[in-house]
Amino acid sequence: MVVCVMGATDSVASIMKRLSEIDKLLVIFEDGADASLADTVPDNAQVIAGGDDEKLLKRLSNRKISVITCGGAKDSISYTSNSEDDIVVSVQREIESHNGRKYEPFEVPLQKLTGESEYSAMAYVAVKTLLGK
């Protein structure tokens, strides 16, 4: 299951509370999401977040939630090449998918979608890897 948190709304907390019953919950924080939303994420969730969002990452680390960061060279997922039409996304650390398969570091070339950000492309690769696809 994938949940995309897009902004701070009153419904996010109640939705997350209901989803806490789901095994292998995956929460994707939109780049620039309100850091206070970290408090609504169930303890059993795995999170994808921007590596430069210090407030969000601090709140998540205080909760000991598993986080895959996307962004720069220090993050789990970054990119090694970026042009107007294409991006090469780099998985820089071993990631274990929800079905238990382990993926060693790899790169994947992608054609950019119209208006797609680098973060979106990296989060997409993270989701596909976690789903074992």
Note the pLDDT tens digit of each residue in 98-108.
888 999 999 99
Sign of CA dihedral 86, 92, 58, 128: positive
* pLDDT for the residue 109: 97
- Answer whether residue 87 shows pLDDT above 80: yes
- What are the structural domain ranges in the chain? 2-130
DSSP string, the chain: -EEEE-S--HHHHHHHHHHTTSTT-EEEEPTT--GGGGGGS-TT-EEEEETT-HHHHHHHHHTT-EEEEEESTTSSEEEEEE-SSEEEEEE-S-EE-TTS-EE-SEEEEEEPPTT--HHHHHHHHHHHHHTT-
- Answer whether residue 89 shows pLDDT above 90: yes
User: What is the spatial distance between Cα 65 and Cα 57, in angstroms, rounded to a whole number?
Assistant: 10
Share of the chain above pLDDT 90, in %: 51
Least confident of 30-44, 85-99, 118-132: 30-44
* pLDDT for the residue 37: 87
* pLDDT for the residue 6: 61
Note the pLDDT tens digit of each residue in 44-56.
889 999 999 999 9
> pTM for this one?
0.88
